[in-house]
Amino acid sequence: MATAERRRRREHEQPLVELREKHAAHGLLRAELRGGGIDEPEYLRRRDRVYQAVTPRDLWKATGGRAGSRRRSDWWAIRKSIALQLAIIVFAALAMLLILWGTIVYLHPSAA
């Protein structure tokens, strides 16, 4: 049971970018600069952002889609918060319907 719990936690943790991945992304940017795909100021800006990247998505945005992952690493937290917001809205709607029904019964006791 404990191993399943650990596995589930590991799946929801945000993966971090390793230094070798940053070096590989930097190499891709240098190759792109040599090939003429980007100019010097853009190369410098992207290189700085590559080394500041923490998650694969940050690396993906820093390299312009050349390295990293497009998928957000915090998608699970976003999904959980949206589900919670929807549950609150459903609960509020049910509470309003209950109050409306109670008001109808109070004002028209013969209708119930």
pTM: 0.56
Q: What mean pLDDT comes out for the span 63-70?
A: 79
- Whether residues 43 and 61 share a domain: the answer is yes
Q: Which residue has the higher pLDDT, 66 or 29?
A: 29
Q: Using alpha carbons, select from 53, 47, 65, 70 the residue that is nearest to residue 18.
A: 53
Please compute the mean of the pLDDT values over residues 97-108 and round it to a whole number.
Answer: 91
Instruction: Based on the fold, state whether residues 32 and 66 are members of the same structural domain.
Output: yes
61 in the same domain as 103: no
Are 64 and 81 within one domain?
no
pLDDT at 78: 85
Q: Is the pLDDT of residue 84 over 70?
A: yes
Q: What confidence tens digit (pLDDT) does each residue in 2-36 have?
A: 676 666 666 666 678 888 989 889 898 999 899 98
The pLDDT, as a whole number, for residue 56 is 86
Please count the structural domains in the chain. 2
108 in the same domain as 92: yes
What is the sign, positive or negative, of the torsion defined by CA atoms of 96, 102, 105, 111? positive
Domain of 10, in residue numbers: 1-73
